[in-house]
A and B are shown apart, each in its own frame.
Chain A
Amino acid sequence: MDHLTLEFCLTKLNLSSDDNPANHPAPTLSGSSKLWVGSFQAMASDCEILMEGLDETQASRLLSIAVKETWRIEHKFSRYVSGNIIDRINRSAGSMLELDAETASLINFSEQCYQLSDGLFDISSGVLRKVWRFDGSDAVPDDEQIHHVMQKVGWDKVSWQAPFLTLEPEMELDFGGIGKEYAVDRLVLALQSEIEALAKSDPNLKSAFVANFGGDLACSGARLDGTPWVIGVESSEHNQTSVATVSLSHGAVATSGDSRRYLQKNGIRYSHILNPLTGESIIDAPHAISVAAPNCMQAGMLSTFAMLHGAQAEEFLEAQTLEHWVQR
């Protein structure tokens, strides 16, 4: 069993510096034709694509497609990139913007989630981070600070008539809650269509892959031998070693957790998940919730919604009749 770690420079992987605006380190591809592991950095996570049944050329092609698409989505929707659509939205100061079709469809999805969650999921709640800084300290904001920033929070204050968006001045939108899951689902589609294209010239091609973006996973199906992918999921207690594992043979799993971002004061752990209706941190939320669903966006939304239910998280998840794991 040879384990070759091949560090590809960007050009070898058919990526140019235009594809890597965030200047991430180069992706790596290691393993053998039994199992390839492609690794790269994106969206503040360690991203991995595990592939079976492909040769090196095919595996590196799939990896470069996955990386390109992820970095494209990251660059387009990241809050930290100046000049992209999110930046223009957040600096629109009350003027109307016409959005492109992809952004418009994400906004539509976010609006539906806002309605389905009765306002608990709200992409306009990003400005709450101005008063809630989750650095492990005890700097919990007081009521007045929260009240002040809540003037700029609320999807009801947003005028959305696709494709025209108008925010009130100083409001901001943040796709952080759905960006990773969206990227996972998009790249699964891209990889599946590439595999279909490869299968046209090689009808005997049988392959399987799973993508893992730091706990948000989606697979093309079970492994070639029929067994599920067994993936380690970060535990809330220990940041370094995996404790919990997830077995995935179809669909996706997404995890919401407070593992690295929280405030702790007077024995109370304030999770980084904030209630957009009150501006407060969710109390009594589990440490981590993982939900399995047919696609990553769905799994991600459900795990987020479950977290927002705080003490009622398990009750909420039971009602959805989807497989889930809760860590308290």
Chain B
Amino acid sequence: MQLINRKKSGVRKIKKIAPALAAASCSLLSVASSDVLARGEAGTWDFEVASLFYSEADDRVMAAEPVFSASKTFEDGEVLNLKAVFDTLTGASPNGATPSAAPQTFTKPSGNGTYAIAAGDAPIDDTFQDTRVALSASWLAPINRDWEYNAAFYGSKEYDYLSIGTSGGLKRYLNSKNTALNFGLSFSFDNIEPEGDIAKPLVEMAHLGTSDSFDSTRDGSSDSKTIIDALFGVTQVINRNTIMQFNYSLSLSDGYLTDPFKILSVIDETAGANFGGNLLDGNGNNIYLHEARPDSRMKHSLYWQTKYALSNGDVIDGSYRFMLDDWGINSHTFDFRYRWQLGSSYLEPHLRYYMQSEADFYKRYITETEYLAGNLQEATADYRLGDLDGMTVGLKYGHKLDNDTEFNMRVEYYLQTSAGDEGFGLLKDQDLYPDTRALIFQIGYSF
């Protein structure tokens, strides 16, 4: 027989809870139905706008680059991203020639004039004033629980340069999504149509106002290249706080890979007053040769990244990349970030160290002997293919206004130092490898 008297719950202490309950219900309802969907939730758009400002010392390159990115996640986990990037570039860039004890006059790459460089100054070409627009669209979608695919299209246009491309990839999850295998393939077609047409490889720069013919140094109004990239990667969850990624990439470029705006100085080896100075042509003008690069390039990269979360919520991010190519360049990139969480804000110091070895056909200058022998196939004095080290130090600050909104800004300092053949004679008195120093500033807002 069951007891009729159940345990009495006892007399409760009566509390006044109405005000607390009012607050709780108001906060639940104050979130409007449409706001209730947060970032990454199906059906909403997430936006990010940012602007980068880049400025090099010594009147060199300055750029402003605003970016607009919009992402939408759909019901079944598909993600669409649309991005627009605008790029305005002004300022000067080294043209590859060596500085000289005497003033130098260069023909503008467009053939519409000349520009002069004072004695001892670094030869920089400031005829660039370029605006670029780039648009891209990408799509990511699951195929089933274990497979995912992605596809993207890209296009960018400057007044003399067009680039279009497409990429696709597959991702395979294993081990309860602890491991992800990544495969990607991308194809890109670039076309350059410089204002002064394409220069013949290693042709002598024509001096305007002389008997030199500008047009005879030109070979076609445009040229193109195709680039195929393949990526194989593994992402692996190590433990609750650690995730790693290993990638191998292969990149094949084919076509016109030369920089049509760069030249090399030819240096006099004749003993005498001009030993180490610029070699002069019949008209008494300096001889410069337009650079030429191979028409193909194969690059291999190995990339390793680790992210580790500390128990206090801080995150450490470190990566290393090794690159090797058939131009003889190899490089190492070390990147390290520490995100220091401060409630709804964070501070993130950043350190990056880069070192590269010079390309086989990199030459700071061409000697008289080499010039007269005339059997150089490729040569470039572009410092970006030389032996250089780059160090970046930066700090980023971010503040989350709410779950979906963040404001951030970062300041970085980039110092690049180059090294190489110091020259001989008069050339030794010149600074052949000036540092490149740049200040980077970026502000961003995501909502």
* Residues of chain A whose beta carbon lies under 8 Å from any beta carbon of chain B: 69, 100-102, 105-106, 108-109, 112-113, 116-118, 140, 142, 182, 185-186, 189-190, 193, 266, 268, 275, 277-278, 280-283, 293-295, 297-298, 301-302, 305, 309-310, 312, 315-316, 319-322
CA separation between A109 and B20, bound complex, in Å? 11
Query: Can you show 5 pairs from A to B with CB atoms below 8 A apart?
Result: A102-B31, A105-B28, A105-B36, A113-B21, A297-B25
Question: Which A residues are in CB contact (< 8 Å) with B41?
Answer: 100-101
Asked if residues A320 and B36 are in contact (CB atoms below 8 Å), the reply is no
Asked if residues B15 and A301 are in contact (CB atoms below 8 Å), the reply is no
Asked if residues A316 and B403 are in contact (CB atoms below 8 Å), the reply is no
Asked if residues A295 and B18 are in contact (CB atoms below 8 Å), the reply is no
CA separation between A324 and B9, bound complex, in Å? 24
Question: Which A residues are in CB contact (< 8 Å) with B20?
Answer: 112, 116
CA separation between A186 and B12, bound complex, in Å? 33
Additional A-B contacts beyond A101-B37, A113-B24 (9; CB < 8 A): A69-B33, A102-B33, A112-B20, A185-B29, A275-B9, A278-B7, A283-B6, A301-B21, A319-B14
Known contacts A116-B20, A293-B22, A294-B22; A312/B14 CB under 8 A: yes
CA separation between A105 and B37, bound complex, in Å? 11
Asked if residues A312 and B18 are in contact (CB atoms below 8 Å), the reply is no
CA separation between A297 and B14, bound complex, in Å? 20
CA separation between A316 and B7, bound complex, in Å? 21
Asked if residues A310 and B18 are in contact (CB atoms below 8 Å), the reply is no
Known contacts A142-B2, A321-B18; A189/B33 CB under 8 A: yes
Measured CB to CB, the closest approach of chain A to B16, in angstroms, equals 5
Measured CB to CB, the closest approach of chain B to A305, in angstroms, equals 7
Question: In the complex, which residue of chain A has the Cβ closest to the Cβ of B36?
Answer: A102
Asked if residues A100 and B37 are in contact (CB atoms below 8 Å), the reply is yes
From A116, A193, A275, name the one whose CB has the most chain B CB atoms within 10 angstroms: A116
B4 at the interface (CB under 8 A from A): yes
B26 at the interface (CB under 8 A from A): yes
B373 at the interface (CB under 8 A from A): no
Question: Which A residues are in CB contact (< 8 Å) with B29?
Answer: 185-186, 189, 295, 297
Select which of B17, B27, B31 is within 8 A of A305 by beta carbon.
B17
Asked if residues B403 and A298 are in contact (CB atoms below 8 Å), the reply is no
User: Interface digits, B248-276 against A, CB 8 Å rule (1 contact, 0 not)?
Assistant: 00000000000000000000000000000
Question: Which A residues are in CB contact (< 8 Å) with B37?
Answer: 100-102
Question: In the complex, which residue of chain A has the Cβ closest to the Cβ of B22?
Answer: A298
Measured CB to CB, the closest approach of chain B to A66, in angstroms, equals 13
Question: In the complex, which residue of chain B has the Cβ closest to the Cβ of A281?
Answer: B6
CA separation between A106 and B29, bound complex, in Å? 9
Select which of A105, A109, A316 is within 8 A of B14 by beta carbon.
A316
Asked if residues B6 and A101 are in contact (CB atoms below 8 Å), the reply is no
Measured CB to CB, the closest approach of chain B to A29, in angstroms, equals 23
CA separation between A109 and B23, bound complex, in Å? 10
Question: Which A residues are in CB contact (< 8 Å) with B7?
Answer: 278, 280
Question: In the complex, which residue of chain A has the Cβ closest to the Cβ of B26?
Answer: A295
